[in-house]
Structure 1
Amino acid sequence: MSDSLSATLPLTRWQGERGTYHLVTFTGPEAKALAGRALMEKLETGRRRGFGSLKVTARIGASEWRTSVFPQKGRSEWILLVSRTVMRAENLAPGEQAEVTLTF
């Protein structure tokens, strides 16, 4: 299994009760790869991380940060939150494509 995963995904704006969030959503083969990685970690450690999340180092352009990706309950999707700091540094706006690399 690879130690990284890359995809070009649209940056989405989501309005929640506590504020506005910006995120990218991994679907299809990328989501399956993340689910497989989460299962492998669960088998290795004997436990699952909070909310089924995976710790990753995320990179968009020159911006890199340590964070987690989260599975969406009942869907084959994984979410990565993108901060406004990263959006400003990479000159990204909602709806634009972002090339995202996750390293495990």
Structure 2
Amino acid sequence: MQIEFTAALWQWQVRTDSWWFVTVPPEHSDELADLPLPPRGFGSIRVRVTVGQTTWTTSVFPSDRDGGYVLPMKKKVRQAEDLSPERPVTVVLETIDV
């Protein structure tokens, strides 16, 4: 399955660490939740992601914050693609292992 969406980059701070995410929109989160995937840690789904010219493999995770899935955004990707907080990020996400 491949989906494309645009969403804002946001920060989650825990203690002294901060993590950056993009939230998968509800309609696409519902599609992901319906996939018959093997069980993985924390309910994660392995994906290949492209943002701008950068492609990498990671996982999306269920989120209590929005009830959908969130995509972690690595520092290397944020820097390479000049991503800023609260600005829209266009994401192409393809599931792996389906």
Q: Please, what TM-score do these two structures have when normalized by structure 1?
A: 0.83
What 5-or-longer segments of structure 1 have no aligned partner? 43-47
Contact 1:27 1:76 in 2 (8 A): no
| Secondary structure of the structure 1 residue equivalent to 2:34 | helix
**1:10 paired to 2:8:** yes
Instruction: Report the CA distance between 1:84 and its aligned residue.
Output: 1.3
Rg larger in 1 or in 2? 1
The one-letter amino acid paired with 2:46 is K
The one-letter amino acid paired with 1:99 is T
5 Å-filtered alignment, 1:1-104, equals: 3-37=1-35, 40-42=36-38, 48-73=39-64, 76-104=67-95
Q: Residues 16, 83 of structure 1: CA spacing in aligned structure 2 closer, same or farther, 3 A cutoff?
A: same
Runs ≥4 residues deviating over 4 A: none
Instruction: Report the CA distance between 1:76 and its aligned residue.
Output: 2.5
Which deviates further from its counterpart, 3-12 or 66-75?
A: 66-75
1 or 2, which has the higher helix percentage?
1
| Secondary structure of the structure 2 residue equivalent to 1:91 | coil
Instruction: Report the CA distance between 1:27 and its aligned residue.
Output: 3.0
What 5-or-longer segments of structure 2 have no aligned partner? none
| Secondary structure of the structure 1 residue equivalent to 2:11 | strand
Aligned length: 95
